[in-house]
Every structure is written in structure tokens, then in C-alpha cells.
Structure 1
Amino acid sequence: MPTIYIHKLTSRTIITFVSLFSLVVYVGCDNRTSNKDHTTWTHYGGSADQSKYFQASQITKQNVGQMAVAWTYPSGDNFPYFFSPIVVDTTMYVLGKNSSLIAVNVVTGKEIWIHANLTGMTRRGINYWESKDKKDKRLIFTLNNSLQAIDAVTGKSILTFGDSGYVDMRQGLDRDPSSIRRMQAMMPGVIYDDLVIMGSAPGESYFSPPGYVRAYNVVTGKLEWTFHTIPHPGEFGYDTWPKDAYKYVGGVNVWSEISVDPERGIAYLPLGSPTYDYYGGDRKGSNLFGNSLVALDARTGKRLWHFQTVHHDIWDYDLSPAPQLLTVNRNGKNIDAVAIATKHGFVFVFDRVTGEPIFPIDEKPFPKSEMPEEVSWPTQPISSLPSFTRHEVTKETLNPYFPDSIKQQWYKRLESAKSGLYVPPSDQYETIMMPGALGGANFGNTAADPENGIMYIQTQEYASVYKLEKVGPPKIDLSENDVKKVKSFYTGNCQTCHGENMAGGVGPSLVNVGQRIFYSEFKSIVTNGSGQMPGFTHVDEETLKALYRYLGGNPISFNFGRRGGDNTTPEGPVVASGGAKIRPDAKRNAPMLDYPEGVQHPADRYTTDYGLEWPGLLSPPWSSILAYDLNNGTIKWRKPIGEDSLYVQGDKTKGAPNGTQRKGMVVTSTGVVFATAKGGKVYAFDADNGNILWETTLSHETNAQPIMYTLNGKQYLVINATSNFMKDSYDHSKKEGALPRGYVVYSLPDAK
């Protein structure tokens, strides 16, 4: 397919537009769901476009106030906090007891089958695929860095998929696969035709693996294509990095939602930041395709166009919300568009095919970094559309509900700190970024009315406080006696190979190694040995934990890949357990801890934490939902959402601090917008003006995308209500009449 670039890469802006004259050959290919078909919920975001839009007529603005609980499905003791179910015909697929995947009949609520003990499965959802003749129906998901398939009818693993039932996703990432500890994304990916397109979550540390986007055949498990998000030599964008950067830089991954235009065969990738998030002295350049919206040919993985929303990101401003595919009317002309909302509060809108901006974007200058060897990009793209967040914390905008002691503390901090859009992080003073690492808009926080050009955004006013520190021996939170014990053990057993200052020698560097591997793995390596390293079976547990802390770790930190599950068989129609068996590595090598030999790099590295201790730092409202009219580029309405006992109890006009993190929406064709928010809140808003039409409070918190389905003309809203409330004053699970922890299904009452 010919691709014509109509403007070349420059040092000031990294924008490429294309004309796709032969794209029409992809329209009309078999087995593709139309973007206009929003009557089912077989994808994480409803359909492949991730719009969360649902076409049905029963629930309207006039009757939504009658919504009530129709039935519930209890989740069991192992809480699937983040999982969003999907519905196919009369079957709903949920994650439940003992990390089991469960098929439930939506008519009777009866369990059809249980595939037990899928500990380490994708935390947020699964993919569904069926063949044209509907004889082959599959659930595609990741499990402990493997891609697997389960028969959607029987619940059993499909062992003809991949290598005896699994595909090792650690392969092909320019790293030793046996050194990769975490690869799979929290999100399920997306189905297009007979492909499953997968993102990843490889970590955010120095030397994490790169987040290449890959497509696999849903029947065979064969890798069909790879898009190098950190380009290889000879690929477009390679010159926006130092030489061989792909060998040591990580990230630039899609850890959230990939949107697909099935009619055109285009996948839209919201790509994240390069590692390390807050210091880029080892990645001078604009760093394509970091922080970019990239349009790919979904069949081949070929880049069609891209736009970089942040050049050389040092603020962790990933693109995390789903790109929204809408038709907008500009100057009397309908344009099929794609819109992306960002963590830092901007909306960028492009022609879906050519990548041409529909609203102007200006490159504006920003302050230069003063960090050693850091070269911040001199300009950043600013959308001409109104921002939906504030960008600075000042004494005047500080939370007025703070006690005076906290106000005085912050007045003093603000005198020496810097705050403002794109202020570079420093090791000399605090940088107060607004929004911070959690946004603004984050994953799950966008939805759309695709035919009418309206995008809905959930956003929060949540700052981060950063201060860089040189990477070195970790701060040691140990008693004097523990320090002596650790130093004695290290000197006697480790120093010969790993060096006096843990910087490496015969063995690799151990500086902050505790931040790169989990305690269980660390314990196994020390006690059992690894490679040429002998095992130290005599070391006691307390010394091991102290040594792990000394090396920068936290022994009680959790493992992203292996949460929950006690591996006992739950009650019910269990048909299988554990998924396809993954063969263990013959050898597990240490994660990459230093630059490859011969690579030029800064003398020092710097890190900071996420600085998220102050969710209510600014004056309210702290969290909101808003309707963005992309036909004219205006915010149509905005309403606060969520409840929290922090500072202002029960005041609905303030919203909730951190009120939209891990929340979601469902937009209906009848003009009702359902939204979840902190405090177990569920709202139904009038799409035209934002008026609340219905409101309820869950017995347990929700941290998952709500979904919708219809059965015999009756419309149902499903919410995963399995999380814990953070404060006793808002723990609705303890109130009279509380529902059990689980999936809650709402509908209109049957007519009498």
C-alpha cells in the first residue's frame, strides 16, 4: 500500500501525515464488525473502537430513574477488583473465585463452566473471537507473560494454540527472554479479523524491556507482525534516539486500550513514555514513538501516520485513554476523526485517515532542563482546544479546606518549588506538576457518541511532586543491628563477585536490584543459586529480608503477574484448572541492570517517586465528567463526580480526590451517559446538559469498566463491585441491606 509523506521530520516537530490512496482495498474484507454496530459488548470497551457506546432503545432519559438491581453474581474471596466482563449471546464471562474464569448464563445467573486457578491472568479483561461459521469460539488472554486461548463453549484450554497451548510473549523484545520478569499488559488487547493485537506493561525502570506492539493469529498463535515502538536501524524514527537506544531503553508501550476502525482496517495506538520516565540523559532526541498516537495498518502493522503529543517526555505523560473514533462536522463537512485526550489535559483531533489535525496545534517553547546531560526538547505541541485541567499549583489555588498547619507547610514548600506546565524535574528543588502521573484523563476515562462528534472525558485534578535523586546505594530503612548483619553477610558472601559498592565485577551490579525483581524471586536466587552463583541455604529469613531492603526492595511488595488465588478447586462446574502449562525456563537470568558494552551513556542516572501523596492539593472540584463537542471544539458541560470524606464530607459539588482513577462510562444511543466514580458512585447523566437523571451507591467500590447488554429487548448495566472502600466512613459494605461483593446487574423493572 503506497504511503506518501507530506512533511518531513524536523527538530521542532515530529508530525507525519499520509495520504492513503489505496486504503479502500481494505474496506469490505470478511469477518469485520462495523464501527456502527454497537449492539453487543464483546470487547473491553464494547466494540473494537473502544467507544463504550451502546445502541439500544429501552433505557431512556425518562425512565432511567427507575433502574434497580436485577441480579448479582458473587465473586468469592479472591476479589477480581479490575476485571470487566464481556457478554456473548446469553453468556457473560467474568473473573471470580480462586482467580477462575467463569461462564455465567445471563438469563438464570447459573454457572455454565469454571476454568479454575488462572492466577496471573490479565487483570482487566479478555478478548472474544469467533469464526465466520460460528463453530470456533475463543477467549484470548494473557497469563504470566504468555498468550493463551480457551474454548468459549467448553471452558477448556485450546492446546493447538501456540506451543501446546501458549505463546511466550517475552520472545522478540531485544532482551534475553529469561531475564524478563514482566511483560503482559493489564488490558486484554483488541481483536481485528483473525488477529489479536496486544500491548504490554514491561515496567518503568531503567532497562525495562521495550513495549513493542504485536499481532498474533487467534487460531494458531503465530506472530503475524511486530511494530517496533523504539525503532531499529533503518526504520522511521531511529534518528530521534541515540545510536542503539532500542538495546537499552524500555517502555514506549500501549498499556491501555487500542482502538480499531474495522471498516478501514486501521489500529490506533496510544503509546506511553520511554524509560526512564523523569530523566532522559541516555535518550537524547524527541524519542519516537514515545507519547505518540500512531495509526497502523491493522493487517500488516505498517505505520500509516503518527503524532507525538510530548517530545522527549520527562513527566510521565503517557497516552493512556482510548483514542475515540467519531464523525465530526466542521464547516458543514463530515470528517471521520480520531480524538485523544491526554494526562496533561489536552484534546488532539485528527482526520482518521490522513492524520491531518482538525483543530490547530502550535509548537510552543518551554523551560530548559538544568539536569546534567539532560537535553529537554525546546518546544511542545499545544492544542488550540480548551484544556480540561489546570496546569499550576499556587498559594491561591491551594486546597482551601486544608487545616492551617498544612496550609503553612505548603506555603513554605511552594516558595522553593516550581510549578507549571512542562517545568523540567530537578534534583535541586521540588517540581509540582499539575496534572501529575495519574492525570488528568487516564485509562478508561474516555468514551464517545461516535455519530454525533461528542467525546466524554472523566478527569481529575491530581498533582505529583517530583524531586530527582541520583541512583546509588538505596536509602536503608533498617535498624543498626540489621545493617551490621547485612554488611557482614554481603562482605562474606557477595562482595567478591558484585563489588565493594555493589557496582558489579565478576557478577552484575546489584545497585537497587530490589526494585527490579520480586522478593520471592530474590529469595530463590540467593538460597538456590543462579548460573555460576552458588546457593546460600544457611541464610535465615530475617537476614534475607534485610538484605532485600538493603538492595532497594520491599519484601511485602506484590507481584503484578501473580496475584491472588490459593490454587484450591472452587465449588461449581469446574472443567479445567491453571490454563495451558508453561514450561519453566531452563535458566533464569538476572534482569538487565546496566547499559550494553560500548553504549555511550550519562555518568549518573536519576530517579524520583511518583509524588502522589496529595490527591486533594488543589481547590475543588477534584474530579469531573465533561462532554466535549468536537464539532465546534467546545466543552458542552462539566459536572463533579465521586464522594470522599477527605476535607469536605458529603458535598456533591466538590467531586472526589482521585475520583476517576480506574473508573469508566457507558454512553447510550438514547442520550444517557452512565459513569462510575469514587465512593461506589454510579450516575446516569443527561447527555445534552449533564443533569443527573439517576444516582446510586454500590455496596463495594468499583475499579473496572462498566458494560451493557440486551436480552429479548431488555437492557442491562453490569458493574464489577468487588473492591474495598478506603475509609470506614464511606464503607457502604457495612450498611444494612448491602449486597455481596461481586458483579451487580441493573435493569428497569418488568412491566406489571
Structure 2
Amino acid sequence: MRLMLSTLLVWMPLLHAAPFEWTAYGGDGRGLRHAPLSQITPRNVGNLELAWSFRTGELGQGFDRAKEALTFEATPLLTGDTLYFNTATGKVFALDAAKGIQRWQFDAQVDRKRDYSEMATRGVSYWRDAQTTAGTACAERILFATIDARLFAIDAKTGKRCADFGTNGEVVLSKNVRLIERQLGNYQVTSPPAIAGDVAVVGSAIGDNRGTDLELGVVRAFDVRSGKELWHWDPIPRTAKVPKDAADPDFGEIEDQQAHWTGAANAWAPFAVDAERGLVFIPTGSASPDFFGGERPGDDHWADSLVALRAATGEFVWGRQLVHHDLWDYDTASQPMLVDLDQGGAKVAAVVQLTKTGQVFVFNREDGEPLFPIEERAVPQDVVAGETPWPTQPFSSLPPLVSHAPVKPDDAWGLSFWDRNACRAKIAALHSEGIFTPPSLAGTIQRPGYAGGSNWGGGAWDPQRQLLIANVMDLPFVVALLPRDKLGEEYDSGNYKGWEFARMTGTPYAMRRKLLDSPLGIPCTPPPWGKLVAVDLAHGRIAWSKALGTTRDKAPWPFWSIEGAPNMGGPLTTAGGLIFIGATTDNFLRAFDTASGAEVWKMRIPAGAQATPMSYEIGGRQYVVVAAGGHAKLDTTRGDYVLAFALPASHTETP
């Protein structure tokens, strides 16, 4: 009897525990992308089957740039028994989580005639009003932002606008941001708002490399009930010659020109929220333009930084700049991750930041002190006229997840002798001194390229094993500056097929960039070009690293088996000891054993899954859900699918 009573006491908290809900982009505000569910394990994952699929019908109809820019990057939310997600085209869907049947749909009526620089959205946010009786209209709200820069609040139960929020349920975000080229779609929002109590915090996505005086990269906070703006914070200070004794002494003094004209430094990645400490963590991007900084002298604080603000007031608490005077488009593109780190026998409240440089930075959440040392190292200084690079860059003592080495002719790779020789000649003609080599007129090899390292997919956390899981790219790109008077001539010459050009108005130079690839379109450096890496943060080391994906769906049949494909998206970890990830350019969803990194399952799917999966349990059955719609810039198979996988009912187990 005593044994039975003690056992019951142990299990009572679990019996009364609230069911797990996925209420924010990263699972919750902390951005861990971890589901504490263990029904699916390495032992039974091979039995996973498609439980249901849903099609949005949204393939970019009516959008001029859908073929070049459309993606489906959303991670659904789960509250109660309902899934919520949105599309880049401005539609929000609510589905029955067990059956995949639509409950309602909302259409924001996004302007389809604008020339959007990005056509992406990563999800929606959820808020429950603690001051209102359950069942009241808009007591539960879905908040989301659109690529035409509007913030919406709609009723989670019905999909109808919350009329008390802004003007009939929406707030226009393109006001007071120095909007340039109003008719175009270069000021957008692509990540969901961060919910901190009754505050929604929103950043922006600004079209890169158009010029120096772009839109302002302000971060703004709105009252979730009324839509009233509560505060805003600009990463670039707008008062020239900020004195050393200002509220934020780290700004130092800045040039008049930078204060008045530098734009961007916008925070376009998802944010993270520490509810206990009342902090919101903001990853900021590069100041404009990305590849020439002569018109923005200095280190450009607080561009390319991780910044902690008071969620209620916008007060600056601390910041750490991770790239000084960015010349490489090395935005801080990943959501910060708020982990409880085992260090020296104690739990430390930490924030982990993955970067496009492939580095991992870890800080104390309260004061920003590095938990793994950071060293300022001298970096290459060969620059074009008018540029003054920052002499050093921060390097984490944690091992980098991608190569930082120079690319030399002997590194050339190809599918044939002819292909390899062509790459060798290309590399020999370009400038490469390793990471942070400044752009040049002859052309500079950038490795990792401006797409990462780590990008918006971010990482996932396994709290039991203290493992950070990250998918990374290790691709070489070429960036070349050209005198402004040569822009038209080169663009019209027909000699630069496949190159992206940018005007960078306000500087002496324009820019072109491209993947460093062979005549067959294969990267000129050896695979793997994409990896899944586990970082043991308890011991500061790489636990394992595996090639991720294959060249299937991108290369002709004889070459399907090359391992390590480019990828875009993120991983999910579960308490069952699994990692789920799509992301790759081949059309598969995969599962890996968290402890060993072994691939233990994969499923062929109808389109590219360039999104981050999520998981939940309902009706005694664990589901893994992913959006599969492809990615225009990765040129993966297009689609409009949301796919849910689960064990057959006869195979489900209660741990």
C-alpha cells in the first residue's frame, strides 16, 4: 500500500499537467523548437505514416514575382485542438489538428501588384486575454504581419477581425519608417510578432542593397488589445555625435552622415522572449547597403547585433555586436534561443545566437556576458577606394560550424575533370583570404556566403543532452563591386547570366553576386554543402556532424547520391530522442537519432519542405507537421501542402 501511494504521489503532477501546446514560432517564446513528447522514438520511427495532408491552394497566383521569390516557410501553432498558420500571400488557416480539416480561413487581401523583394512569412502568433471571460469575442487572438507591412489581430475561434485592434483589426506598419519607393514592396514583415505579456513586438524586412538611405530598421511594440504603439527602438541612433555619457554609452560618437542617412539594420528574424525577466531579444541585420560601408564609417552599432530590450518599455538593457561594419550581408538571421545551460554544476540562464558566419555565441541572459570567450581577431584589410573596414571581428571560442579558410585553386571540385578545371580557373582569378575578406573589383570569394552558415531556420535544443542542433550551409559565393558608370554596361552585356545586380545608390559602386559554381551549376568547392551539426554546450565541443540531404531533385540521375545539399529551414527536437528536419533541396522529410546523428527515417514528400517542423499530441497520438511548398530562391519543387505524420494507431505507445 505504501509503495502504491508513493508511486501515485510521483505521478500526480503529471496527471494534472497542462497538455503541451506549440504557441509561438519556436514552440514558445524561448525559441527552443523542442517538443517534450516521446511517443515517437528511434525504435519505432520507421513506422511513421502520413496521417493527413492539407492544401492551401496558394501558389502565388496574381503575384508578378511568385516564380522568383515565393516560399512557404510557416511553422504552424497548436492551441487546444486547432492548428494555425499563414501563407506569404496573406492568408491564415485554422485546421482541426487531428484530421487536417479546415475550420476557417482569413484573407488579408495583400496587394498582389507590388514588386515584393521577398515573398515569405514564417508563421503567426497566439495571445490569450487573461482579463476576459473565455468565449468572449477575441479573448484568444491570432496576430500576424504581412509582406505589405500590416499587423493584424483576428479571433482565434472564428477568424474574424478584432475590431478593437487598430483600425478594424489592422495596423499599418509602413508609416514613420522613411518609406522609399512606396509603390514597390521593399518594406515588409516576414517573421511573426513576438508576444511578451500583452505586448506584440514587430521588426521588418527591408529590400537589400538598393542604396544608403533606405527605410529605418525600427523595432516597434504594440498593445495586443488596442493596437496602440507603445514604443519603438532604432538600431542606428538618429542623433549625430551621441555623447559618451548618453543613456547607451556603447554607441560612442557617430558620423552625421550615418545618423541621418544610413538605413536598415532591420530585425527581420524571429525574436525571443524571456517572460520571467521581461526581456525581448532582438537579432539585427546589416546597415545599408550590405557590401560597401564607406558612407557609414564606424562599426555601425547596433547593426549585426544581439540586443536585449525591456519588453514593456523598449529600454535598452544590453547588446553584443557580432559583426563590425558589415561588408558581407552577415545579418543576425536566426532566432535567439533561451536555454538553461549546465555550466560548472549550475544552471545558467543563457541565450544562444547562431550566425551566418557559422559561429555560435552564448551569453548570460541577464547581463550579456559571454559564457564562452570571444576574441577580437585581425581580419583582411584589402579594400576598394573609399572603404574603411573594421580592423577586427569577434570570434567565438566554440568551434565554427562551417569552414572559415581561404578558397584556393587546389580546393576546386567538379563532377568531371573539365568541370573541376573550370572551377580551378575561376578560383585563381578571384580574391580569397578567408572569412571577412572585403569585396573587391576583381571579385571576392565569400565563404560562407551571405545565405549562411545558419539562416532564419535557426537551431533546436535538446535539454536532456544539452545539445544545440543546427543545420548549416557551406557554400562559396562571389561578390564583385563595379564602378557606378559600369553598371548599365555590365548588366546589358549578356556576360553575367545568373548574376544578381544591385545599384547601391549613394555609393561610388554597384554590386553583383552569384554562387561560385561550375559550368554544370555545381558548387566549386567539395561537398557537403549542407550539414546537420550537434554542439555539446555542456562541454563546448562538436558532438557530431552529418551531411544533410542529397543532390536528388537537383542533379541528373547518375549524380543523385552526392551527400550534403544546400538547405533552408530548421530542425525540431523531441523528448523521444529524435530530430526532424526537411530544409534540403531534395524532397524528403528526415529523422535523425539525437544521440548519434544517425539518419533513422526519411519520407518522400511532394514538394520542398523549406520550413521548420513542429510536433504535438492529440487523442493519444503524436503528430509531426511540416509545410511543404518549396522555395523559389533554392529552386525546389513548388507546392501548397501541410503534411502531418504519425504512427499507425496500432503502433502508438504510452511511454
Report the alpha carbon displacement of residue 263 of structure 1 after superposing the two structures with TM: 1.6
Aligned to 2:642: 743
The yes-or-no answer on 1:137 pairing with 2:140 is yes
Deviations 1:65-118 (A, max 9, x none): 211111111222536722322222111123469853222222343322222363
Aligned to 2:216: 210
SS of alignment partner, residue 655 of structure 1: coil
Match for 2:563 among 637, 643, 655? 655
Q: Distance in 2 between matches of 1:608 and 1:97?
A: 28
Return the index of the structure with the highest Cα Rg. 1
Match for 1:378 among 385, 391, 400? 391
Deviations 1:286-313 (A, max 9, x none): 1101111111112211111111111111
Correspondence 1:483-632 to 2 at 5 A: 604-612=507-515, 614=517, 616-632=523-539
How many pairs were matched up? Answer: 589
- Read off the aligned partner of 2:283 and give its amino acid letter: P
Instruction: Rate the CA distance shift 1:648–1:41 in 2: closer, same or farther, 3 A.
Output: same
Match for 2:439 among 425, 433, 443? 425
- Read off the aligned partner of 2:236 and give its amino acid letter: I
Q: Distance in 1 between matches of 2:618 and 2:273?
A: 26
Aligned to 1:565: none
SS of alignment partner, residue 362 of structure 1: strand
Aligned to 2:260: 247
SS of alignment partner, residue 414 of structure 1: helix
The yes-or-no answer on 1:340 pairing with 2:353 is yes
Instruction: Rate the CA distance shift 1:150–1:653 in 2: closer, same or farther, 3 A.
Output: same
Report the alpha carbon displacement of residue 697 of structure 1 after superposing the two structures with TM: 1.5
SS of alignment partner, residue 247 of structure 1: helix
- Read off the aligned partner of 2:511 and give its amino acid letter: T
SS of alignment partner, residue 475 of structure 1: helix
Deviations 1:704-724 (A, max 9, x none): 221212113321111112227
- Read off the aligned partner of 1:87 and give its amino acid letter: L
* Alpha-carbon contact 2:470-2:570 (below 8 Å) kept: no
Instruction: Rate the CA distance shift 1:356–1:747 in 2: closer, same or farther, 3 A.
Output: same
Structure 2 unaligned residues grouped into runs of 5+: 1-16, 61-70, 112-118, 494-499
Aligned to 2:412: 398
* Alpha-carbon contact 2:550-2:561 (below 8 Å) kept: no
Q: Distance in 1 between matches of 2:178 and 2:585?
A: 40
Deviations 1:511-530 (A, max 9, x none): xxx999xxxxxxxxxxxxxx
Instruction: Rate the CA distance shift 1:451–1:213 in 2: closer, same or farther, 3 A.
Output: farther
* Alpha-carbon contact 1:623-1:642 (below 8 Å) kept: yes
Correspondence 1:79-94 to 2 at 5 A: 81-94=72-85
Instruction: Rate the CA distance shift 1:612–1:322 in 2: closer, same or farther, 3 A.
Output: same
Aligned to 1:435: 448
What is the TM-score normalised by the length of structure 2? 0.83
Report the alpha carbon displacement of residue 239 of structure 1 after superposing the two structures with TM: 3.7
Report the alpha carbon displacement of residue 155 of structure 1 after superposing the two structures with TM: 1.2
Superposed structure 1 runs of 4+ greater than 6 Å apart: 477-480, 650-653, 724-728
Q: Distance in 1 between matches of 2:253 and 2:266?
A: 17
Instruction: Rate the CA distance shift 1:314–1:675 in 2: closer, same or farther, 3 A.
Output: same
Q: Distance in 1 between matches of 2:258 and 2:632?
A: 43
Match for 1:313 among 309, 323, 326? 326
Aligned to 2:176: 172
Report the alpha carbon displacement of residue 37 of structure 1 after superposing the two structures with TM: 9.1
Q: Distance in 1 between matches of 2:316 and 2:18?
A: 26
Deviations 1:648-671 (A, max 9, x none): 86878743442x22x221111221
Q: Distance in 2 between matches of 1:161 and 1:287?
A: 35
- Read off the aligned partner of 1:76 and give its amino acid letter: G
Q: Distance in 2 between matches of 1:655 and 1:242?
A: 48
SS of alignment partner, residue 751 of structure 1: helix
Aligned-pair identity (%): 30
Q: Distance in 1 between matches of 2:89 and 2:449?
A: 35
Q: Distance in 2 between matches of 1:626 and 1:245?
A: 38
Report the alpha carbon displacement of residue 39 of structure 1 after superposing the two structures with TM: 2.2
Match for 2:151 among 143, 147, 167? 147
* Alpha-carbon contact 2:153-2:161 (below 8 Å) kept: yes
Match for 1:45 among 26, 31, 34? 26
Instruction: Rate the CA distance shift 1:479–1:751 in 2: closer, same or farther, 3 A.
Output: closer
Match for 2:93 among 99, 102, 119? 102
Moved more, 705-714 or 467-476: 467-476
* Alpha-carbon contact 2:374-2:396 (below 8 Å) kept: yes
Aligned to 2:601: 694
Match for 1:303 among 316, 324, 331? 316
Report the alpha carbon displacement of residue 350 of structure 1 after superposing the two structures with TM: 1.1
- Read off the aligned partner of 1:475 and give its amino acid letter: G
Report the alpha carbon displacement of residue 55 of structure 1 after superposing the two structures with TM: 1.1
Aligned to 1:3: none
Aligned to 2:54: 73
Aligned to 1:279: 292
Aligned to 1:521: none
Aligned to 2:6: none
* Alpha-carbon contact 1:402-1:647 (below 8 Å) kept: no
Match for 2:202 among 191, 194, 198? 198
Match for 1:675 among 581, 589, 613? 581
Moved more, 107-116 or 81-90: 107-116
Match for 2:123 among 122, 125, 131? 125
Correspondence 1:219-298 to 2 at 5 A: 219-233=225-239, 234=242, 236=248, 237-239=250-252, 241-298=254-311
- Read off the aligned partner of 1:219 and give its amino acid letter: R
Structure 1 unaligned residues grouped into runs of 5+: 1-35, 481-513, 517-551, 553-592, 596-603, 734-739
Deviations 1:567-603 (A, max 9, x none): xxxxxxxxxxxxxxxxxxxxxxxxxx976xxxxxxxx
Q: Distance in 2 between matches of 1:454 and 1:38?
A: 24
* Alpha-carbon contact 2:356-2:452 (below 8 Å) kept: yes
Aligned to 1:368: 381
- Read off the aligned partner of 1:160 and give its amino acid letter: D
Q: Distance in 2 between matches of 1:725 and 1:163?
A: 34
Aligned to 2:5: none
Q: Distance in 1 between matches of 2:285 and 2:398?
A: 22
Aligned to 2:13: none
Q: Distance in 1 between matches of 2:268 and 2:19?
A: 24
Aligned to 1:464: 477
* Alpha-carbon contact 1:326-1:452 (below 8 Å) kept: no
Instruction: Rate the CA distance shift 1:160–1:41 in 2: closer, same or farther, 3 A.
Output: same
* Alpha-carbon contact 1:679-1:725 (below 8 Å) kept: no
Q: Distance in 2 between matches of 1:109 and 1:721?
A: 15
Instruction: Rate the CA distance shift 1:726–1:140 in 2: closer, same or farther, 3 A.
Output: closer
Structure scoring higher RCO (CA < 8 A, sep ≥ 6) equals 1
Q: Distance in 2 between matches of 1:318 and 1:432?
A: 18
Aligned Cα root-mean-square deviation (Å): 3.0
